[in-house]
Structure 1
Amino acid sequence: MTRRPPEIVVDVLLIAVAAVWGASFLSAKELTGEVGVAPAVALRFLVAASALGVICLIRRERMPRGRGLAIAALLGCSQAAVIGLETWGVHLTSATNAGLLISLALVFTPVLESVASRSWLPRSYFVAAVAAVVGVALLVSGGGFRLPTAGDALVIAAAVVRAVHVTASGHLTRGRRDSTLAVVCVQLVVCALTSTAVAGADLPLAVGRLTASGWLDVLFLGLMCSVFAFVVQLWAVRRTSATRASILMGTEPVWALAVGVVIGGEALGLPGLAGGALIIAASYAGQAIERRHRRALAARATSGEPVLAVAPPP
């Protein structure tokens, strides 16, 4: 009989995942400054795909086939788009801004889920969404209200695509028995191939001029932020509730803020701090509202009570 690990161990590992993801923005900014955006993304995925491929070989994971392979490849394309936009965005904005803005995916995802399931969220959720948008305005204000920079806009776009990716992952893989590690491995291989094609001739040139600190960033992004995070996330969510896991991993923007300010030396004024706090608070509030709404629908379905679709707010 396999002994269940203590809950504190699971919690610590999930917080570690959030921490490395939060730190990834500063590493990505440093790496793109050294080799450029496209080579940085390609190197990250090449390392991640190679490492996870070795793990799958050791575990003798059965790769998906047919429709399962097509789904994994499609999700690999969307994952490549997320990381590509995110990396391009952090190259043009601060690591702190990028880490906070990407958390908007927590607000966008339930909206897309409600559209897909044709069951609209309560009005209170959209109040939280508006609060998150106000937080973005404060965050990018820089002491005076202005439009988001190109980098900020790219990270917001990455948050939207991440929400699409998460929603699609849930709907396309639901009920399938393909190994999670194998599916992720296929995704990473697709990401590595597409990003390598985009980098083209710049990739070998970038490898040639990488410094020791650049290689550390590549290994951190590829091994820790991709392989370690994916494997631990899979291991942990099987040993705790999805709600608990999402709350702990949802601390990613907090870690991004801490790493960007303390280690990266980035400045964030009072409006920015207020905006960051509002984004995080609104994201958590939105998650809680969505979770209660989902449980209420499940309870109604179990009791046989008809579930009525609620029209979206005007």
Structure 2
Amino acid sequence: MDVTTARAGRPVDLPVLLVAVVWGSSYLAAKGVTTAHTVVAVLVLRFAVALPVLVLTGWRRLRALSAVQVRGALRLGLILSVIFLLETYGVVHTSATNAGLIISLTMVFTPLAESRLSGTRLPAPFLAAAALSVLGVALLTQGAGFTSPSAGDLLMLGAALARTAHVLVMARSRSVRGADALSLTTLQLGGAVAVFCVLSAVPGTGASPWATASGFGAGDWLGLLYLSAFCTLFAFFVQMWAVRRTSPSRVSLLLGTEPLWAAVIGIAAAGDRPGWFGLAGALLVLVGTAWGRTVTGRPVREHPEEQVSAPAPAPAADAAARAE
């Protein structure tokens, strides 16, 4: 990044950094309004607030999409629904700190998977950073001693893998090429919400959205609106605004501080006490993912005409795949 680009990006940094803080706090917010019996209902209610705003904002562009693009985006919405379900069930069954740090493994899983699919070789420092992150998660899930990871930890690990799949499928899906970010995100969320509505009508999937809403107190509604208005709408529109005024790489690096804020907020506000093993693991995850983000753009030349660099997720993919 040249000096001119860096200077141009400085006024944009604070709003983008605020998005990272909001996303870091989203795990605690989701944990506060959700129980194991209200996961699907909360997801329906949350996006009942956010989705209409996105539809109204981008109605003209939505109408301009082709039938192929619409079908492709809705198919991506199926993957997105899996991400939301895994993350929300996961955060219910683990700490906010663990949730935010484990999901950050997406930052290393995505380049690893892309490298495997393309048959290319990643830089050795990235592989070292990935190993450091995985070791950190292993320690993080141990708490004060060596125990099996909780069900929530495993669900968050599954969510990280699902996020990786979502980014890779989006990047390789020809059907959605040319679709603008707002329309693509809106249709994906619409597809995910359709899945949640169907699930909410299936016996045994927990409380209905109506029963859940009637049982909400003022604090629950504030938490839900926070997830809808700030973690979804505010975050998406700030990203779209920022990438037009600075580089996608700069935005991506700032958003990459999310796990740091998740750990800080989880420990300071939620009273999470990960123990010495957990603290060491948290530190390794933060160092490993930050290191990995800085080295994925460095090429490795296996032949003079070839160079490999791991792609960063596009802002639209990043926004849509966030199950705050």
TM range (shorter): 0.7 to 0.9
How far apart are the structure 2 equivalents of 1:212 and 1:63?
Answer: 40
Structure 1 residues 277 and 173, CA gap change in structure 2 (3 angstroms) = farther
Q: What residue in structure 2 maps to residue 11 of structure 1?
A: 13
How far apart are the structure 2 equivalents of 1:46 and 1:277?
Answer: 37
Structure 1 residues 161 and 63, CA gap change in structure 2 (3 angstroms) = farther
How far apart are the structure 1 equivalents of 2:146 and 2:83?
Answer: 27
How far apart are 1:45 and its partner, in Å? 2.1
TM-score, normalising length from structure 2? Answer: 0.85
Are the equivalent residues in 2 in contact too, given 1:86–1:154 (CA < 8 A)?
yes
Q: What residue in structure 1 maps to residue 231 of structure 2?
A: 225
Q: Is 1:89 matched up with 2:95?
A: no
Structure 1 residues 216 and 175, CA gap change in structure 2 (3 angstroms) = closer
What stretches of structure 1 move > 6 A for 4+ residues in a row? none
How far apart are 1:178 and its partner, in Å? 1.6
How far apart are the structure 2 equivalents of 1:174 and 1:245?
Answer: 26
Q: Is 1:274 matched up with 2:273?
A: no
Q: Deviations over 1:262-281 (max 9, x none)?
A: 22222232221211110111
How far apart are 1:115 and its partner, in Å? 2.2
Q: What residue in structure 2 maps to residue 39 of structure 1?
A: 41
Q: Deviations over 1:9-66 (max 9, x none)?
A: 3111111111111111001111113962111122222222122112223x66545222
Q: What residue in structure 2 maps to residue 112 of structure 1?
A: 113
Of 285-294 and 207-216, more deviation after overlay is shown by 285-294
Out of 53, 56, 59, the residue aligned to residue 54 of structure 1 is: 56
Number of aligned positions between the proteins: 299
SS in 1 for 2:114: helix
How far apart are 1:144 and its partner, in Å? 0.9
Structure 1 residues 173 and 15, CA gap change in structure 2 (3 angstroms) = farther
Q: What residue in structure 2 maps to residue 25 of structure 1?
A: 27
How far apart are the structure 1 equivalents of 2:263 and 2:280?
Answer: 12
Q: What residue in structure 1 maps to residue 312 of structure 2?
A: none
Are the equivalent residues in 2 in contact too, given 1:132–1:278 (CA < 8 A)?
yes
Structure 1 residues 151 and 109, CA gap change in structure 2 (3 angstroms) = same
Q: What residue in structure 1 maps to residue 322 of structure 2?
A: none
Q: What residue in structure 1 maps to residue 321 of structure 2?
A: none
Structure 1 residues 175 and 54, CA gap change in structure 2 (3 angstroms) = closer
Q: Is 1:307 matched up with 2:309?
A: no
- Give me the CA root mean square deviation: 2.5
TM-score, normalising length from structure 1? Answer: 0.88
Are the equivalent residues in 1 in contact too, given 2:20–2:258 (CA < 8 A)?
yes
Amino acid at match of 1:88: Y
Amino acid at match of 1:66: A
Q: Point out where structure 2 has 5 or more consecutive residues left out of the alignment.
A: 202-206, 309-324
Q: Point out where structure 1 has 5 or more consecutive residues left out of the alignment.
A: 310-314
How far apart are the structure 1 equivalents of 2:61 and 2:180?
Answer: 11
Structure 1 residues 171 and 34, CA gap change in structure 2 (3 angstroms) = closer
Percent identical pairs in the alignment equals: 38
How far apart are the structure 1 equivalents of 2:227 and 2:194?
Answer: 17
